Amino acid sequence: MKILLNESFEEWQKIINQSDWGHKILICCGHKPTAISMATLFAIDPESKTEHLVGVCTSQSECLELIQNPPAPLLIFISGRLDDGSGIGLIKAIHDQALTASGKNHITVLTLNTVNPSSLKEALDSPANIILTQRGFEAFTLSHVLLSVKMGINYVDPLIHHILDPSHFKKSDLLSKRELDVLELVCDGMTNHEIGRELHIADVTARQHVQAVIRKLHARNRTDSAVKAIREELVE
C-alpha cells in the first residue's frame, strides 16, 4: 500500500475539507507507517483548523471500538490486510453495525493491493461503499468517487471490472443468491421499501443490495440493471 503515501492524498484532503457532508475520518490500515502518514495528511485542515481525524488504528478490534460512539458519520479508510484479519471482514462487521442508527451513515473505503480475480470478487461481494486499487488514488478520480458516494451511489475502480472480464465469469456468478433475489424484484418494478418488505430485510439493506447489483452489472441505474437482467436471462 505504498500508494497511500503519494501526494494524491493531499487532493483527498482538499476535497473532503471543502465538502459540506460533515463526515469525520477514521483510518484503519495494517501497515502502521502508512496509517501514520495518512493521519498526518488528514488530521487538520490548515485553513479552517478543523479537526477531521477521529482516530487511526491497525486492527479490526480497535476500529470497531472507535466507531462505538462516533462524534459524526465517518469516512473510514480500510486496507485489505489488518493486524487481526482482513479489511473485508471489518467492512462486513461495520455493515452489521450500520443497521443501527449510529452507523448507518458511515462510508467505507476499501483499498486493495491484491488484484487477482478471487480477491476482487470477494471485495465486490462486500458492502464497501468505495473499492479502490492503487490506481484509484490518482487525483483525477477523487472528485468523481466522492460525488458518487455523496449521491448514494457506490463506486468501484473500473480497473476491477476490467480484470473481472466477462470471459472469466458469467454475470450471474458475480451476484450472490440474495442479490439475484433482489434483481428479480427490481425487474418486477418494486421499490426498495417493497423489496425490503418482500424479503423481510431493512429498507437500507435492500438499497445496498440494489446498489451492489447495479455496480456489478455495470448498469447506469436500476432500470438499466433490469433491462440487462432480462436481456442476459439472469432472472426467470
Query: Tell me: the pLDDT tens digits for 104-128?
Result: 578 888 888 766 677 777 888 888 8
User: Are 133 and 194 within one domain?
Assistant: no
Mean predicted lDDT score pLDDT of the chain: 75
User: Are 101 and 192 within one domain?
Assistant: no
Provide the grid cell at 196: 425490503
Residue 194 lies in a domain: yes
User: Are 57 and 109 within one domain?
Assistant: yes
For residue 31, the model assigns a pLDDT of 84
Domain boundary residue, one of 130, 163, 196: 163
Task: Give 89-97's long-range contacts (Cβ < 8 A, gap of 24+).
Answer: 89/60, 90/28, 90/60, 90/63, 90/64, 91/126, 91/127, 91/128, 92/126, 92/127, 93/60, 93/64, 94/63, 94/64, 94/67, 95/126, 95/127, 95/208, 97/64, 97/67
CA distance 33 to 31: 6
For residue 1, the model assigns a pLDDT of 26
CA distance 26 to 195: 32
User: Are 80 and 176 within one domain?
Assistant: no
**Tens digit of each residue's pLDDT (9 = 90 or more) over 41-87:** 666 555 544 567 888 899 999 999 888 877 778 888 898 889 988 89
Residue 122 lies in a domain: yes
Q: Which domain holds residue 107?
A: 2-163
Phi-psi region of 85 (alpha: psi -120 to 50; beta: other; left: phi over 0): left
CA distance 76 to 159: 22
Residue 236 lies in a domain: no
Residue 200 lies in a domain: yes
pLDDT at 197 over 90: yes
**Mean pLDDT computed over 124-150:** 67
Number of domains in the chain: 2
Q: How far is CA 229 from each of CA 80, 187, 234, rounded to the nearest angstrom?
A: 31, 8, 5
Unique residue bearing C-alpha cell 483499498: 111
Closest CA to 7 of 51, 47, 37: 37
For residue 60, the model assigns a pLDDT of 92
| 3-state secondary structure string across 166-205 | CCCCCHHHHCCHHHHHHHHHHHCCCCHHHHHHHHCCCHHH
Residue 187 lies in a domain: yes
User: Are 122 and 21 within one domain?
Assistant: yes
**Tens digit of each residue's pLDDT (9 = 90 or more) over 153-195:** 677 776 676 666 655 445 655 677 888 899 999 998 999 999 9
User: Are 104 and 208 within one domain?
Assistant: no
For residue 154, the model assigns a pLDDT of 73
Q: How far is CA 71 from each of CA 35, 63, 67, 99, 191, rounded to the nearest angstrom?
A: 21, 14, 9, 18, 32
For residue 71, the model assigns a pLDDT of 74
For residue 110, the model assigns a pLDDT of 86
User: Are 72 and 182 within one domain?
Assistant: no
For residue 192, the model assigns a pLDDT of 93
For residue 130, the model assigns a pLDDT of 81
pLDDT at 230 over 50: yes
**Mean pLDDT computed over 3-8:** 38
